[in-house]
Structure 1
Amino acid sequence: MRKIYLLLFVGLFATAFSSCQVLSIKKYKALLATQDSLNRGWNESQLMNENLESLIAKLRKDTTGLSSALNDMKNQYSRMDSNYNKLRSNSSSEINKLSQDLKKREQRLKEVEEILRKRDEATNQLKEKLQQALLGFTKSGLTVEIKNGKVYVSMTDKLLFPSGSIVIDEKGKQALTQLATVLKQQPEINIAVEGHTDSQKITNLGQIKDNWDLSVLRSTSVVRYLTEVNKVESVRMTATGKGEFQPLVSNANAEGRSKNRRIEIVLSPKLDELYDLIKQ
């Protein structure tokens, strides 16, 4: 480019020289001004060229980076697509498995609900039979009620025992005999006999040391009478003493203490079928 400007200057100078043997000062200054202008143009064009080359290098670098980033994105997409296909395949299999498990659980739940329904039905029927059989003893403090799916036959101590005694009296024997008649007709019922006392300390009862002793001995007396005299199966029976620690009401007065001194016969249906179903 600089050569071109130089040739132009020389050409202009030669033309001027050929047309006139001696240059005037004015023309000479004009030629110098033209030379300066051409030099400035040359320098500006050189600077512009350098800027363009720098820009081209930057664009090439950017293009290379974008190409690399594009390749990375293509690879990531390929991996994600592969993972998605695997996940969709596995999900379909898992959904089918979960669906089958859910159907089994629903079927098991229906079976459990049916067993519980039958249990509740049997419990209500048992309560009605006991209420009819023991109707004559309700005025003596006998009650029959259902709690937590079990039938509770509660007898105050005055119905079964003389004061401070563990020997069942005649009226108590009559009530237990009536109870045993119903129990022997219900072989699928477990029987737990619980003895309860008030909170007053035991005094002058011989070998009976405390309320624990009294509650246990009274419950075992009832169990023996039901099994030995009335022939209720012993394997169905459990005797426990609760002492003074599960009162129905406050022991602050005589009426409350009388209610707390009791024998509770807890009747619960055998749930072997339900337990077996739950274990599956």
Structure 2
Amino acid sequence: MKIKYLLVAAVLIMSMQSCVVLSTKKYKAMLTQRDSLFTRNSSLEAQIAQLQADTARLHREIAGLKGNIEDQKGSLAALKASYDALNGRYDALNNNLTSTNSKVNQLSSDLQKREKRLKEVEDILRKRDEATNALKDKLQKALLGFQQNGLSVDIRNGKVYVSLTDKLLFPSGSIVIDERGKAALKQLAVVMNKEADINMAVEGHTDDKRIRNLGQIKDNWDLSVLRATSVTRYLTEVEKIDPKRLTATGKSEYQPIDPANTDDARTKNRRIEIVLSPKLDELYNLITK
């Protein structure tokens, strides 16, 4: 509106300055100029109004953007806090993972060592079983003629047991080996002198009847020990088996083969058992590593 008033004032001034009566042509030119100025003024006013509207809109948008920026700053702060927390957890998890990997590697190494040792033990036990079966076969062939007279060869718990009834070795109530017993022990010694890595335990066993009138032999303990000692002396002194390989023990009546209260059971229980076991130094050393 100010521009409009200024234009009108300019026209009036120009009219007042020209005291001379204007010609029709100049008058029309002035009217045309006035109309042009009014038209331009209207255009400028429209542009100003649009600029003012745009300015107001931009102010609103700027205010909205400022609010949005503040919101984004808040979100960014929250995300940073979450990131820091997650980063802390990641570091902790990474440390745990490193520790776990170290433990897994150690356990894997230990497992490989144990598997290797297990295989070595299994190989030794397999060889022992093969040797035990081979020894049993040799003894059965060597003692074949005595198996009808109360001698048996079998395997128990990885050991070879040669069982000889008392009637094959001793007269009744005696600790002196008779000729049939010596013949059986001689055949056993032939095999054992070729098997230097086999230890021998000579065990004396009795039945559960109490001993009476046997002079120096007081009870079944004495009888079982003295008979085991007699067999051990014969094998070492006569058949020349290395004494370091033998032990002699008495079991009395307390490890019967047949616990029945019959004469047949008591006959089975009165026996000498020679327990043959391979030296297990290699296995012992492996286990105690």
- Determine if the TM-score, normalized by the shorter chain, exceeds 0.5: yes
CA RMSD of aligned residues (A): 2.0
**2:208 aligned partner:** 199
Task: Compute the displacement of 1:71 (Å).
Answer: 8.8
**2:158 aligned partner:** 149
Match of 1:270 among 270, 276, 279: 279
- Residue 256 of structure 1 aligns with an amino acid whose one-letter code is A
Match of 2:176 among 143, 157, 167: 167
- Residue 168 of structure 2 aligns with an amino acid whose one-letter code is L
> Aligned with 2:213: secondary structure?
coil
Question: Residues 72 and 166 of structure 1: is their aligned pair in 2 closer, same or farther, counting only changes over 3 Å?
Answer: farther
Task: Compute the displacement of 1:223 (Å).
Answer: 0.3
Q: Does 1:233 align with 2:220?
A: no
Match of 2:262 among 241, 247, 253: 253
Q: Does 1:85 align with 2:94?
A: yes
- Residue 115 of structure 2 aligns with an amino acid whose one-letter code is E
Match of 1:121 among 106, 122, 130: 130
Post-superposition Cα deviations, 1:98-150, rounded to whole Å, max 9, x if no partner, equal 22221111111111111111000000000000000000101111000000000
Question: Residues 72 and 200 of structure 1: is their aligned pair in 2 closer, same or farther, counting only changes over 3 Å?
Answer: farther
Q: How far, CA to CA, are the matches of 2:88 and 2:221 in structure 1? A: 74
Post-superposition Cα deviations, 1:220-244, rounded to whole Å, max 9, x if no partner, equal 0000000010000100101000000
Post-superposition Cα deviations, 1:49-102, rounded to whole Å, max 9, x if no partner, equal xxxxxxxxxxxxxxxxxxx99998666544322211111112222222222221
> Aligned with 1:243: secondary structure?
coil
Q: How far, CA to CA, are the matches of 1:273 and 1:72 in structure 2? A: 64
Q: How far, CA to CA, are the matches of 2:279 and 2:141 in structure 1? A: 23
Match of 2:107 among 98, 101, 111: 98
Count of matched residue positions in the alignment of Structure 1 and Structure 2 = 215
Q: How far, CA to CA, are the matches of 2:168 and 2:228 in structure 1? A: 14
Task: Compute the displacement of 1:152 (Å).
Answer: 0.2
Per the normalisation by structure 1, the TM-score is 0.73
- Residue 175 of structure 1 aligns with an amino acid whose one-letter code is A
**2:57 aligned partner:** none
- Residue 141 of structure 1 aligns with an amino acid whose one-letter code is G
Q: How far, CA to CA, are the matches of 2:138 and 2:276 in structure 1? A: 13
Query: Quick check: which has more Rg, 1 or 2?
Result: 2
Question: Residues 77 and 212 of structure 1: is their aligned pair in 2 closer, same or farther, counting only changes over 3 Å?
Answer: same
Post-superposition Cα deviations, 1:6-45, rounded to whole Å, max 9, x if no partner, equal xxxxxxxxxxxxxxxxxxxxxxxxxxxxxxxxxxxxxxxx
- Asked if the contact 1:198–1:251 (Cα under 8 Å) also holds between the matched residues in 2, the reply is no
Q: How far, CA to CA, are the matches of 1:126 and 1:279 in structure 2? A: 27
Per the normalisation by structure 2, the TM-score is 0.71
**2:222 aligned partner:** 213
Q: How far, CA to CA, are the matches of 1:211 and 1:70 in structure 2? A: 92
Question: Residues 80 and 169 of structure 1: is their aligned pair in 2 closer, same or farther, counting only changes over 3 Å?
Answer: same
Question: Residues 72 and 219 of structure 1: is their aligned pair in 2 closer, same or farther, counting only changes over 3 Å?
Answer: farther
Unaligned runs of 5+ in 2: 1-76
Unaligned runs of 5+ in 1: 1-67
> Aligned with 2:154: secondary structure?
strand
